[in-house]
Structures are given as structure tokens and as C-alpha cells.
Chains A and B, each alone.
Chain A
Amino acid sequence: MIRTVVLLVALLAPGLVRAAEPYPSKPIEFVTQSSVGGGGDVMARQIIEATKDLIPQPMVVVNKPGAGGRNLENYVKDKKPDGHTLVVTTATSILWYYTGALTYSVNRDLEPIIRLQVEPNLVAVKGDSKWKTMEDLIADAKAGKVTFGGGPIGGPEHLFFHKLARDHGFRLNYVAYGGGGEAGTSLLGGNIDATFLQASESLDHVRSGGIRYLAVASAKRVADIPELKDVPTLREQGVDFVFEHWRGIHAPAGVPAEVVEYLHARFKQGSERESWKKWLTDTAQLGGYLNPSDFKAFTLEQDRLIEQITTDAGLNKKKK
């Protein structure tokens, strides 16, 4: 009887006895706030596929969507910083800290491993609308004739239009959707007049004439994607706003330096492979490789920028 009990305990509680083993000693989890099929999820699956022959342990994606990243936060909080739990980070990981209920900070609570991709954000209107430039759009918005739309309050779309309205002194009419594709169909159906979205979500509609870009929210024009190379930046049109959708991999703070090095080297190798590059081109995304220290400098800069924008826009919830 006692032997059965001992056996059972050993069987049921495998975490009980585990000596220190060389990394990685068990499956590696990629935790993402996007649901299956979302941007962060697909990226994680791609990098896993591109590196599965380089890392001797299975790698799995864990989806923790919802609550503005809070579900992810709660899941990661209790994990040991041993490199077996990784976090897929995006621009909104920093944004929701200021505009949402997120309590963890990318720079304080996470350690960068690699930045893998950057995706431009664009201001889009319906293909047959009369607006050709940001100036046209702003002029009509001042007359109350434009209905803007996008994701929830506090998300990048709302942040952008909110700032635009403040800077140019018009009252914002903003239709907030829960997220995902609803704003896109709403634009195509003519229920909203303008939205702010990522290139991969919209390029096809630009090709078919369903929607048209007015501006790209990058520092300079995007030359690498044919459809985007003639789209002027917001800055060129007198709107000071730069917001790109970057994605990368972080680990909880306290992860050993050699683990960061180990993963960085392999992910970098994976991101140089043809399959990865082909996937980026196929889906209208750009490579955005940064090593850990550059990535750190980048997120610090992002943090400063987003804190400033959200504070200016009156959306910073962390500033009491």
C-alpha cells in the first residue's frame, strides 16, 4: 500500500524532484497575448518552426489573450525566470501599461532576447472616399464630418486619433470595437470613415481598391513593400506621430545571461533562414532584428515616448 502511494506521488508530482540540468531541460513556452492566429501567435509559431532543429527541447505557444494583457501577466508572474518561459512582446505590451490595467513593465519586469519584426501602421480610408491627404481628412474632421474607428479605448488606434483630435482641435467621433477584424469590415461597409491599421491586415484591400492609405506612421517611408513606397509619412504631412508594430521575445527578469545568449544566437540564426524571410514578405511584414542590448535601448526609448504621448493625450492611467 505504502509503495503504491509513493509511486503515485512520484507519478503525479513530477515537479517535485528535479536536479539542475543544462538549459534547456524541459519544453520552452512562448506566452503571447494574442489568440491563435493573431500577430504575436503566428510569429511565435514561425520562429519555433524556424529553430526547432537548433533547440533540443519542444517549444510550444501558450495563448493568454484578453484583459489588455492582464491574463498573460498573471500567467507569467508565477513562473521561474529560468528561460523555459518566454514572452512574446509587442508595441502594445508597453502601451497597455500606461493606458490599460497592466501592472508589469517591459523594461522593469522583463529581459530582452531579440526583436524579430516591425510592421508599419497606416491611416486608411475607404477606396472611393474623397480624402486624398491627411489635410483633407483633418479639415472635414473639424467640420464634424468624419467618423473614426478602431480597437478599444486606450489602444494604438484610439491613441492616435485622440492625439490627432487634440493637436488639431476637433471633437473626436470614435467608434471603438472590441478588436480584431470588426473595424476593418466596418470601414469597408462604410460605417466608419477612417481607421488606423497594420500593413498585413490591409494590403490586400489596397490592391483590390477597397481601401486607400493616407499616411504611414513610420519615421520614414517604407521602401521595402511596393504598395507602401509612395505612401507619405505622417510627419511629412505635419502630424507628429510615429508608432510601429514591433514584435520580439522577452524572458522574465532574472533570467541567466547565458540563457539569453543561447536563445538569441539561435533565434537570430532562425530569422536569417529563407523560410522566415519568405514568410515575412508573403505577409507584408518587415524584418526588425535587434540584439538584446539594442532591443533594451529601443524599448526604453519606446517607453519614454509612449509615456509622453499618453500623458499629453490625457490617457496615462499610471500618472495619478
Chain B
Amino acid sequence: MRRTETVAALVTLAFGTFVAVQARALEDPGLDAIGPEAFPMVLGLVIAACGAVLLAQSLVPGRREAEGDAEPPARWGALAATLALLVAYARSLEWIGFPLATVLFVGACLALLGARGLARFVVAGIAVSLAVTVIFGRLLGVDLPAGRLFGG
């Protein structure tokens, strides 16, 4: 898995460079000795340097394998779908409000993760949504989004 190590090193190098370049562009109003840009710039350079070292390690043959189970995730599809579902959930909170969005999310998530039976999705969704809305929203006064559709 040398190639993933090289990619990780390149990402680190690129991120560090990005931070350093962004930090350089910051304005210094001159209120203190080093200003707001110095520290982030050093951080950027440190990250970039680490990236360079990792790159060298990954390219030099014979070095001991770096740590970690550096193998690509097996189920990219399931992960991407879960993530998409979560984004949709967050997005729908603003529109249809917490209670309804949660019913839909729980149902969809169970389906995605391989639970069986439509009735179960509906029951679980309603149960979770109702429990959370009552406990957090009503009893604890948490500001759960009501959703724009319902005038929240």
C-alpha cells in the first residue's frame, strides 16, 4: 500500500502549503509583536515539512511500513450513501423541521444499513422522533428547528 502513503503525503504537503499561503495574505494591523499571521504560517510550514518527510519515506524503498491500516475503505458506496443521507437530513431540518425530518432520516438510515420491514422503519422513525422531540425539545427546551414550511 505504498501508493496510498504517497497520496497521503502529497495531501499533507498541499494542505500545509495552502495554510502557509493563506496565512501570508492576512493583514497585520500591528497591534502586537508577531501579528495574526505569524503563528498560522509556522503551522503551515510545519505541516508541509511533515508532508515532505512522509513523501520521502514513501518513495524510499525498504523503509519500514508506516503505521495504520492504510487500506482504502471497503464499502465506499455505503459510506457515501450514509454521508449523503446525513447531509440531506441536516438540509431538511431547516425546511421541514426536526420532527418530520427525523422520522424520514431514521427510516431511510435503517433501510440503508440493511434492516428489514417497512413497518419497522415507520415505527422506529416515529418513536425516535417523538422521544427526542418530547425529551429535548419540550422538557429541556432545546431549540429544535421547527422548519420553514411550518412557519419556524
Contact = CB atoms under 8 A, between A and B. Distances in A.
Given A15-B151, A16-B150, A60 B133 contact: no
A98 interface: no
Nearest to A13: B150
A153 B31 contact: yes
A60 B97 CA distance: 22
- In order of increasing CB-CB distance, the 4 nearest A-B pairs are A12-B99, A13-B150, A15-B151, A15-B150
Interface of B: 31, 97, 99-100, 126, 129-130, 133, 141, 143, 146-147, 150-152
19 contacts: A11-B130, A12-B97, A12-B99, A12-B100, A12-B129, A12-B130, A12-B133, A13-B99, A13-B100, A13-B147, A15-B146, A15-B151, A16-B150, A16-B151, A60-B141, A62-B143, A78-B152, A172-B31, A174-B31
Interface in A54-95: 60, 62, 78
A69 B126 CA distance: 37
A172 B141 CA distance: 45
Of A8, A12, A153, A174, chain B has the most CB atoms within 10 Å of the CB of: A12
Contacts of B147: 13
Range class of the A interface residue count: 10 to 19
Interface of A: 8, 11-13, 15-16, 60, 62, 78, 153, 172, 174, 176
Nearest to B146: A15
A13 B146 contact: yes
Contacts of B129: 12
Nearest to A75: B143
Contacts of A172: 31
Contacts of B151: 15-16
Nearest to A173: B32
A153 B30 CA distance: 12
A80 to B, nearest CB: 9
B149 to A, nearest CB: 9
Contacts of B126: 8
